[in-house]
Chains A and B, each alone.
Chain A
Amino acid sequence: MSFLKITSAHKAYRTPEGAMVHALNDVSLDIRNNEFLTLLGPSGCGKTTLLKCISGFEDIDSGEISLEGKDLKGVPAHRRPFNTVFQNYALFPHLNIADNVGYGLDVAKVARKQRDLRVEEALELVGLTGFGSREPNQLSGGQQQRVALARSLILRPRVLLLDEPLSALDRKMRENMQIELKMLQDSVGITFVFVTHDQEEALAMSDRIAVISDGKVQQVASPTEVYDEPANEFVANFVGTSNIFTGRIFEKQGNIVTIETANQRKVQAESDRFGVGDHVQLILRPEHLKFTPGGNGVPDNCIEGVVETCIFVGSDLHLHVDVGKGRKAVVHHRHDRGNADEKIEAGSQVKLYYSPRAAHLIKAVVN
């Protein structure tokens, strides 16, 4: 039996200006027990709406949300076995940390002794032992975050919903919390549904990622799959950076296909799925593009171009290469200290090449 299942969920609302917005447009999603699932998408894509519909703060217009086969329609938020960690933490300012964490137990009228014990446990779980008597405003952002986690986890929810919980933290803190959250999820064994617009965060933490855009689920897959085999152009561009070449396969040898792009460039890729005559898009990650300075010693299957900009970002060198006819290619080159070949400047002639195995093909939308 499926665990948390969303079937053909629709939700539309009217903006104050009168336009209809389809926040959820036929969303179906099967969330597995004990997994860390991330809803990833740009702001306004519907991911937060979906979270609110799961937690019960909003109704879906049509479709179904069910937990272990039981429809949740009409079940108000406070009767759903889900808990939420809010973006701004939403700690009750009039209660101290222990009372914040114990709130759910107090509401459920759990006996005092057991309640105190469980509050202690929950605070220990998030590394805040001894913070019980402090006030929320005395805590740092990261600590407030942990309190919010403890407050939700203490109720042992079936699903923990996290609404961009790390967005208010600074970069360092955010990276630490990513690891902690992942470890926490492993140790408590609760399904986490995590909303974010940050693709790195999604890749780092998730068992699976659901990429959402325009109220639709674009792809649901593991982080490596989403990155290596994006289902469509949106996913390819939103998760990581992509070089995309659109064209038609005109030759196939073994599982190596050769594609001719609209401007007569020939590129190769490995594919079992596609055959001669198919319209495809070739997706190539910038780190899979290699370059040699222009001139001799050219491998097969290469693209010539002129370096437009060269940006040093520390671990990598980012090249933007003009490959002719207004097309640009992005190359991420691992920084190699003291390598003379790296002496690339704007204006340099380069040849770009890649292994056909690194290229991913998707069906092109032909109009």
Chain B
Amino acid sequence: MLDKILSSRFWSWLFKGYGIVFLIFLYLPLGLIFVYSFNANSINMAVWTDFTFDWYLTIFGGANSQSEFDAAFTESPERIFEVVRNSAVVALCASTISTVIGTATAIALQRYNFAGKKFYQALLILPMIVPDIVLGIALLIFFVGAGFELSLLTIIIGHTTFLASYVFIVVSARLAGMDTTLEQASADLGAGPLTTFRRVTLPQIMPGVVGGFLLAFIISLDDVVITYFIAGVGSQTLPIFILAMMRRGLRPQINALAVLLLAFSFVVAAIGLYLRSRKT
């Protein structure tokens, strides 16, 4: 009865209808930013006046047709370029380091049996469940106490502490699905442990490694809370920069910046999701 009911036309339409409402809930807010980012009305974004590229152009230093009032709220292209570069440096370094660490750990826990295995599994979950704000202030206290100057380096370290766990999970799943006799076959054919890793294990887990890297990259790129506490004055990242802009008031320029950030995140995420779904 129930599965009949579930598959009956009425319920099937109800589910479908709900599904569409659910997707609208997920995408309407983001779509709105996208539409607003082309709206020339700088006083009230909710009222459409004209189509414009100005908000994008101001980011790159073009279209200086704004009033003085607007200019006060608009950041210079140099400043935007600087924070974007900071974000890129942090995301690249943090995700690269955590990919190396996470992959090494995944191999250790998947391929070896040892006494402390359970301990490591618990330890790896910890950074993911500790609330961001707790990790953020703990790192702030530590860095200040240990005499680190808050900089891009402290952000990179802070991100790496929790990103390695994400990479670990993605790579572990891939390793678990890999046939271990391939590694034995390689050793059997004369390859030492390093050669086996380079020629057999790594190519086999590559989708997982790349997927883990991309996931780490996005999380690092989007991180607000932890970065908020451990970013120094001269080491603002893009999200912190947007946070500061939002605190000063909602300007159309934020729309354009948000859309660019969204587009970039979605492209990276799409590549990552595609790699994960692909089975070799």
Contacts and interface: CB of A to CB of B under 8 A. Distances in A.
Nearest to B184: A57
Given A78-B192, A94-B280, A86 B204 contact: no
Nearest to A86: B181
Contact of B190 (A93, A94, A104): A104
A188 interface: no
**Chain B interface category by residue count:** 20 to 34
A107 B191 contact: yes
Contacts of A86: 181, 184-185
Interface string A71-86: 0000011110011101
Interface string A83-116: 1101110101110000000011011100000000
A77 B200 contact: no
B280 A90 contact: no
B62 interface: no
A94 B204 contact: yes
Contact of B187 (A76, A106, A152, A155): A76
Contacts of B190: 78-79, 104, 107-108, 155
B189 A103 contact: yes
A83 B191 contact: no
Given A88-B179, A94-B204, A94-B280, A107 B195 contact: yes
A10 interface: no
A88 B193 CA distance: 21
Interface string A26-69: 00000000000000000000000000000111000000000000
Contacts of A106: 199
B182 A90 contact: yes
Interface in B168-198: 179, 181-182, 184-193, 195-196
Contact of A55 (B188, B200, B203, B204): B188
Nearest to B178: A93
A78 B193 CA distance: 9
Interface in B66-122: none
Given A88-B179, A93-B280, A107-B199, A83 B189 contact: yes
A151 interface: yes
Nearest to B196: A78
Contacts of A94: 203-204, 280
Contact of B182 (A55, A78, A92, A151): A92
B188 to A, nearest CB: 5
Contacts of B189: 78, 83, 103-104, 107, 151-152, 155
Contacts of B199: 103, 106-107
A155 B191 CA distance: 12
A93 B203 CA distance: 10
Contacts of B195: 107
Contact of A78 (B191, B204, B280): B191
Interface in B225-280: 280
B191 to A, nearest CB: 4
**Most B CB within 10 A of own CB, among A82, A86, A87, A151:** A86
A77 B187 contact: yes
Given A86-B181, A92-B200, A57 B186 contact: no
A155 B189 CA distance: 8
Contacts of B179: 88, 90
B203 to A, nearest CB: 4
Contact of A93 (B186, B191, B192, B204): B204
A76 B203 CA distance: 23
Contacts of B192: 76, 78
A82 B190 CA distance: 9
B187 A90 contact: no
Contacts of A108: 190
Q: Which of A77, A82, A152 has the most CB of B within 10 A?
A: A77
Nearest to A80: B188
6 contacts: A84-B184, A84-B188, A87-B181, A90-B182, A92-B182, A107-B189
List the 7 shortest-distance A-B pairs measured between CB atoms, nearest first.
A104-B189, A90-B185, A90-B181, A77-B187, A107-B191, A94-B203, A78-B187
